[in-house]
């Protein structure tokens, strides 16, 4: 800019000067955060380094007023990536807060939040509370009676956590279990297909498998030991073990009477 000064004479004398105006920057702009989301949902088995979002920050001010530091949680990343194993069963959603702060005095900052959902992968198999259980069957119980109900839980969701039950056929059984019992694949109810005769069959065992509906499916097994609880069996059992041990072993039995240190137990 040029300025001219002149006096008031009829023939004025003038003088010229060049005026330089320097405009000082004031920190009047907060940083702007721009997030390009690459993934809204990430699978829980996503590998480390999987990119979730690209983050760019821009500040209109000059010098320090426009110098921006970007903080994502506690890490300094401008590309938001998976940096550790994810597990939907423990954390299914993250709200990631991105804060950009300039170096002006006073500093200005802005924040942007990314919501990231963790989607389920079939990484848990169905679990029975025990691996082996004992079942006592009443001799000559009616065919079709529910003699035991088994249950397994699966921590995954939807199809990955949907459990179905089946009898496991392996070569260890001389008699196929499907000739003796049936299992309801939905409820886990085990139903007798024959009246068990103590004189013919004292004990038998078979495995039940719980399988989820994931792809690929995962499964686990439960071994069931069946015994009769005819009065004779229970009596023999109690005579053999006696006393306090009888109480433990016969925990599901009612102790009927106690005679000369010999316990006689019977089922309710
Ligand atoms: Ca600024
Ligand atoms: Ca998991
Ligand atoms: Ca899972
Ligand atoms: Ca599962």
Taking only the tens place, the pLDDT of each residue in 93-150 is 999 888 888 888 899 999 999 999 999 999 999 999 988 888 877 777 788 888 889 9
**pLDDT for residue 206:** 87
* Digit-coded pLDDT (tens) for 196-224: 776 677 777 889 999 999 999 999 999 88
- Give the Å distance between the CA of 157 and the centre of ligand 4: 7
- Which residue is it, tokens 């005579």? 239
Give the Cα separation of 196 and 207 in Å (integer). 18
- Give the Å distance between the CA of 122 and the centre of ligand 4: 5
Ligand at shortest distance from the CA of 103: 1
- Give the Å distance between the CA of 152 and the centre of ligand 4: 11
138's CB contacts (< 8 A; 6+ apart) are 196, 228, 229, 230, 267
**Superfamily in which the 127-241 domain is placed by CATH:** Cadherins (2.60.40.60)
pTM of the shown model: 0.69
Asked whether the domain spanning 127-241 has the same topology as the one spanning 27-119, the reply is: yes
Whether 51 shows a pLDDT value over 60: the answer reads: yes
- Give the Å distance between the CA of 227 and the centre of ligand 3: 38
Contact 179, 206 (CB under 8 A): no
Domain boundaries, the chain: 27-119, 127-241
Mean of pLDDT over the chain: 80
Contact 97, 67 (CB under 8 A): no
Chosen CATH of 27-119 out of 3.40.50.300, 3.30.930.10, 2.60.40.60, 2.40.10.10: 2.60.40.60
């Amino acid at each position: 800019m040029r300025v001219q000064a002149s006096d008031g004479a009829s023939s004025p004398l003038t003088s010229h000067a060049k005026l330089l105006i320097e405009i000082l920057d004031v920190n009047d702009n907060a940083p702007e955060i721009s997030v390009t989301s690459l993934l809204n949902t990430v699978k829980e088995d996503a590998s480390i380094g999987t990119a979730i979002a690209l983050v760019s920050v821009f500040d209109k001010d000059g010098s320090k007023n426009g110098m921006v530091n970007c903080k994502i949680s506690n890490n300094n990343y401008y590309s938001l990536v998976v940096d550790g194993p994810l597990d939907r069963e423990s954390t299914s959603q993250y709200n990631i807060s991105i804060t950009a702060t300039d170096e002006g005095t006073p500093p200005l900052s802005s924040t942007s939040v990314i919501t990231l959902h963790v989607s389920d992968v079939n990484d848990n198999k169905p679990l029975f509370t025990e691996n082996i259980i004992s079942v006592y069957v009443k001799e000559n119980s009616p065919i079709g009676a529910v003699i035991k109900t088994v249950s397994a839980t699966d921590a995954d969701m939807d199809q990955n956590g949907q459990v179905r039950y089946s009898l496991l056929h392996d070569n260890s059984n001389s008699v196929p279990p499907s000739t003796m019992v049936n299992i309801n694949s939905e409820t886990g109810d085990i139903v007798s297909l024959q009246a068990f005769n103590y004189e013919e069959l004292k004990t038998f065992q078979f495995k039940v498998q719980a399988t989820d509906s994931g792809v690929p499916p995962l499964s686990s097994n439960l071994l069931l030991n069946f015994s009769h609880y005819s009065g004779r069996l229970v009596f023999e059992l109690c005579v053999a073990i006696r006393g306090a041990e009888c109480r433990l072993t016969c925990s599901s039995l009612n102790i009927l009477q106690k005679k000369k240190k010999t316990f006689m137990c019977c089922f309710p």
